[in-house]
Amino acid sequence: MPLRLDAQWVKSSYSGDDGPACVEVAATSGTVHVRDSKDVAGPQLTVAPTTWAAFVSYAAIR
């Protein structure tokens, strides 16, 4: 599912300006999109908001 062009992408606070791990997230109603900030035209992972919330909770305790 392609993302709307007006969606606001937010870069992870753990991603540096020159680091190899740069992740961006954009939330829309009903979906959360994740992409590599160095390849914005590349593939995107799209998940449900509940799936994203579960992932973030899991990652936060690691």
Domain boundaries along the sequence of the chain = 10-60
pLDDT at 37: 85
DSSP secondary structure letter of residue 17: S
| pLDDT tens track for 37-50 | 888 888 999 999 99
pTM: 0.76
Q: What is the mean pLDDT of residues 9-34?
A: 82
Contact 49, 30 (CB under 8 A): yes
Give 19 or 25, the one with higher predicted confidence.
Answer: 25
